[in-house]
Amino acid sequence: MFHWLEQRPFFFAVAVFIIIAFAGVIEVIPDFAKESRPIVGAKPYTILQLAGRQIYIHEDCNACHSQLIRPFKSETDRYGMYSLSGEYAYDRPFLWGSERQGPDLHRVGNYRTTDWNMNHMWNPSALVPGSIMPSYKDMYSQDIDFGTAYAEAYTVKKVFSTPYDKDLNGNGKIDVPLGSYSNAKKLALQEAMVITADIKNKKIKEAVAEGKIPQIVALIAYLNSLK
CATH at residue 150: 1.10.760.10
Is the bond into 103 cis (omega within 30 degrees of 0)? no
pLDDT at 71 over 60: yes
Residues 61 and 91 occupy one common structural domain: yes
pLDDT at 91 over 60: yes
Half-sphere exposure of 133 (CA within 13 A, CB side): 26
HEC sequence for 155-184: HHHHHCCCCCCCCCCCCCCCCCCCCCHHHH
pLDDT at 1 over 70: no
Residues 153 and 68 occupy one common structural domain: yes
Distances (CA, A) of 75 to 66, 68, 71, 83, 225: 12, 10, 7, 10, 20
Tell me what the mean pLDDT of segment 201-213 comes to: 95
Q: What is the pLDDT of residues 151-161, one digit of tens each?
A: 999 999 999 88
Assign 79 a pLDDT band (cuts: 50, 70, 90).
very high
pTM: 0.83
- C-alpha to C-alpha distance for 217 and 122, rounded to whole angstroms: 12
State the total domains in the chain.
2
Residues 106 and 206 occupy one common structural domain: yes
pLDDT at 182 over 70: yes
Tell me what the mean pLDDT of segment 157-167 comes to: 90
pLDDT for 218 equals 98
pLDDT at 24 over 90: no
Q: What is the pLDDT of residues 61-70, one digit of tens each?
A: 999 999 999 9
Residues 57 and 140 occupy one common structural domain: yes
Q: Which residue, 91, 92, 95, 113, is CA-closest to 104?
A: 95
Is 59 inside any structural domain?
yes
More confident residue, 11 or 4: 11
Residues 24 and 68 occupy one common structural domain: no
More confident residue, 187 or 29: 187
Q: Please give the share of the chain, as a percent, with pLDDT higher than 90.
A: 69
Find the domain containing 166 and state its range.
47-225
Contact 196, 117 (CB under 8 A): no
pLDDT for 82 equals 95
Q: What is the pLDDT of residues 96-135, one digit of tens each?
A: 988 899 999 999 999 999 999 999 999 999 999 999 999 9
pLDDT for 170 equals 77
Residues 123 and 53 occupy one common structural domain: yes
pLDDT for 27 equals 66
pLDDT for 223 equals 97
Residues 10 and 62 occupy one common structural domain: no
